[in-house]
Amino acid sequence: MGLEVQGGLLMADLLDIIIVGIYLCALLGIGIIASKKIKNCDDFICAGKSLGFWLFTVLMIGTVCSGMSLLGVSGFGYLSGWPGIWEQIFVPLAISFCVIFFGVKLQHVGRSAGYMTVQDYFAHRFQSPRTLRGLSSVAGIIVSLIYLAGQYTAISIVLMWLFEIPHWMALLIAAVIVTAYTTLGGLYAVAWTSLFQGLLLLIGVLIMAPLVIMSAGGITHVNEVLAGIDPNLVQPAFPASYAAYAFCTPEFLFSFAILLMIGLSCAPHVINNVLAVKECRYFKWVPLVSFLVYGLVMFLIKFSGFAGRAMVADGLLSLPDVANAQDFVFVYAVQYATQSVYLWGIFAVIILAAVMSTTDRLMLTVGSMFGWDIYRNVLKPKAKDSDVLKISRITTVVAAVITLLFAINPPDILAFLIWMGIGVMLSTFAVPLLAGLYWRGATREGAIASMAAGLVASGVFGYYYQFVAKLPMHFSIYAVTCSFVAMVAVSLLTARNDATVLDETMTGWYIQPK
C-alpha cells in the first residue's frame, strides 16, 4: 500500500484481509443458497423469471456499473473536467433506454413465447432459428469475453493495490470466487449478490466521495483550480480538439451519447435482464429510479475525479508514474482523504463490488448464449434440459478460464479490444434490435447484413481511429451508420417476414399497443 503508516500496517493488513475475506465468503454463501433454487435452465438463465422491482433495478445498475465505473469515471473526470460530465448522464440513461425501448416489448413477447435470451427474439422475429441466432450468439460471446478480460484486469488492480500480491494470484482469487457463485446459483446468485453489492457501492460512495471533495477544499475551490489549469475544463464541452484530453467536443459528445445510451443498453448481458422480470408493471418506475440512484453515484465519483485533479494541482497528492495514471486518482484520493488504513479494506470491497457485479453477469451471459443458443438451439435441438444446464455451467467456467489466461498474459491487442467493446456492441446489435422491434419492413437478410456490416465496420473504423487518424466522432457512430444502411438497403430488396410473426412479436411503430 502507498502510504507510510508503519505502526498500524500489519494490523491493517490483517483487518483488510478479514474485511475482503468476509465479503468474498458472503458472495460464496449467496451462491450456495441460490444454487438450491436451480432446478432447470429457466432458473439458471432467467432466475425463473421471478425478479422483483428492486432486484431487477439493482441488477441493471450492477450490470452496467462496471469496473471502470469507479476507476475509469474518476480518471476521465481528472483528465477532461466538466466536458466529461455527460458520461454521468448517458450511462445511467442506458438502463432507462433499455427498459423503455427494448424491455417493455421483449418482456411481454418473451413471456408468451418463452424467451430465455435476446437471441430467442432474433430467431423468432426474423424467422432465422439457426443463422441469425448463431451469428448473434458468436458475436455476443466474443464481445462479452473481451469485456470480461477488462473486468478481470480491474479486479486485479484493486487486489494488487490492497494486498501487494502478484497479478496472477489476485486474478485467481477473484476468478475462483466469482465463477463459483455464478456457476452454482445462475441468475439468482447474480441478482442477489448484485443487491448486496449495490448497497455496499451506494453506501460506500455516499461516504467516500464527499470526504474526498471536502479534503480537496470543497467543490467551489475544486472548480476554481480546474479553471486555473485550463478554462475549458469547467465548460460544458471543449470548443475544439486542441489537446489530447480535449476530445469531448460537441460532435464527439453527440456520438458519445449514442454509444453509451444505446450501445450499453443493447449489450447482451444488459438486455437479457429484462427477460427475467416477474411483472411488466415494474417497468413503470425503473427508468426514473435507476437514473436517479445510478446518476447520483456516478456524479459523486466524477466529482471525486475533479477533486483529485485539484489535489494534484495543489500539491496534496501525486499519482504513480504509470500509464493511465489518472485511473488511480480515486484510490489515491480516498487514501489521502481517509488517512486511516482501516478504511482501505472497506474501500477495496466497494470497488470489487462494482467490478464483480458486471463480471458475474457477463460470465452467465456467455454460459447461457453457448448452452442455450448454440448447444440447445443450433447444435443439438433435442438435448435434455439437464444437459443444457450442465453445458451452460461448464461454459461459464471455460469463459472464466479463457479470460483469465488473457488477463494474466495480456496480448498487446487486448487493451485495444477492450476499448472497442461497447462500440462493437452498438454497431452489431443496436440496428437489428431497434429495426426488428419497430419496423415491419426489417427482414431476416437485412438483419444478417446489418449485424455483419456493423461488426466489420466497427473493426475498420476502430482501427482507423486508434492507429491511423482521429475522427471527429467516436468510431462506432460510423460503424452503426453502415449497419443502418445495410439493414435498410437489404430489407427493401428482400421479402418481408410473415405478418403472423410480426404480430406475434409486436413489431410496429409503438412501445405499448393502444
Partner 1 sequence: MFGLPDITIFTVSSAVALIVVLLALWALRYREVF
Smallest separation (angstroms) from partner 1 to the CB of 421 = 25
Q: Which of 287, 308, 345, 446 binds partner 1 (CB under 8 A)?
A: 287
Q: Which of 25, 40, 199, 224 binds partner 1 (CB under 8 A)?
A: 224
Q: Is 466 in the site for partner 1 (CB under 8 A)?
A: no
136: closest CA among 473, 459, 447, 357?
Answer: 447
Q: Which of 9, 18, 206, 288 binds partner 1 (CB under 8 A)?
A: 288
Determine the interface stretch with partner 1 among 26-34, 170-178, 263-271, 283-291 (rule: CB under 8 A). Answer: 283-291
Which CB atom, from 104 or from 143, has the smaller least distance to partner 1?
Answer: 104
Query: What does residue 277 show for φ and ψ, rounded to 5 degrees?
Result: -75, 145
Which CB atom, from 98 or from 388, has the smaller least distance to partner 1?
Answer: 98
Q: Is 236 helix (H, G, I), strand (E, B) or coil?
A: coil
Q: Is 222 in the site for partner 1 (CB under 8 A)?
A: yes
At 150, the amino acid letter reads G
Determine the interface stretch with partner 1 among 30-38, 178-186, 193-201, 216-224 (rule: CB under 8 A). Answer: 216-224
Q: Are 497 and 443 in contact (CB under 8 A)?
A: yes
Question: How does DSSP assign 310-334, residue by residue?
Answer: HHHHTTS----SSTTGGGGHHHHHH
Query: What does residue 486 show for φ and ψ, rounded to 5 degrees?
Result: -60, -45
At 7, the amino acid letter reads G
Q: Is 229 exposed, middle or buried (0-12, 13-18, 19+ CB in 10 A)?
A: middle
Which CB atom, from 3 or from 280, has the smaller least distance to partner 1?
Answer: 280
Which CB atom, from 93 or from 331, has the smaller least distance to partner 1?
Answer: 93
Angle 105-372-276 from CA coordinates, rounded to 5°: 40
Q: Which of 3, 5, 33, 89 binds partner 1 (CB under 8 A)?
A: 89
Q: Is 51 helix (H, G, I), strand (E, B) or coil?
A: strand
Smallest separation (angstroms) from partner 1 to the CB of 290 = 9
Distance between CA atoms of residues 406 and 146, nearest Å: 9
Smallest separation (angstroms) from partner 1 to the CB of 303 = 10
Q: Is 93 in the site for partner 1 (CB under 8 A)?
A: yes
Q: Is 503 in the site for partner 1 (CB under 8 A)?
A: no
Determine the interface stretch with partner 1 among 15-23, 88-96, 121-129, 207-215 (rule: CB under 8 A). Answer: 88-96
Q: Is 281 in the site for partner 1 (CB under 8 A)?
A: yes
Q: Are 197 and 353 in contact (CB under 8 A)?
A: yes
At 459, the amino acid letter reads G
Residue showing cell 487486448: 414
The pattern of x and - marking residues 291 through 310 that bind partner 1 according to CB under 8 A reads xx--x---------------
Angle 85-88-94 from CA coordinates, rounded to 5°: 140
Query: What does residue 216 show for φ and ψ, rounded to 5 degrees?
Result: -80, -5
Number of Cβ atoms within 10 Å of the Cβ of 215 = 20
Q: Is 421 in the site for partner 1 (CB under 8 A)?
A: no
Determine the interface stretch with partner 1 among 120-128, 286-294, 356-364, 457-465 (rule: CB under 8 A). Answer: 286-294
Which CB atom, from 164 or from 224, has the smaller least distance to partner 1?
Answer: 224
Residues whose CB falls within 8 Å of the CB of residue 510, separated by 6 or more in sequence, listed in order: none
Q: Is 264 in the site for partner 1 (CB under 8 A)?
A: no
Q: Is 250 in the site for partner 1 (CB under 8 A)?
A: no
Q: Is 284 in the site for partner 1 (CB under 8 A)?
A: yes
Q: Estimate the crossing angle of helix 286-313 against helix 167-215, to 10 degrees.
A: 80
502: closest CA among 483, 281, 491, 454?
Answer: 491
Q: Which of 44, 56, 76, 82 binds partner 1 (CB under 8 A)?
A: 82
Determine the interface stretch with partner 1 among 138-146, 287-295, 359-367, 387-395 (rule: CB under 8 A). Answer: 287-295
Torsion 181-184-188-190 (CA) sign: positive
Q: Is 85 in the site for partner 1 (CB under 8 A)?
A: yes
Q: Is 390 in the site for partner 1 (CB under 8 A)?
A: no
Q: Is 277 helix (H, G, I), strand (E, B) or coil?
A: strand
- Kindly list the residues in this chain that would bind partner 1 in the complex (CB under 8 A): 82, 85-86, 89, 93, 96, 100, 108, 219-224, 227, 234-236, 280-281, 283-285, 287-288, 291-292, 295, 512-513
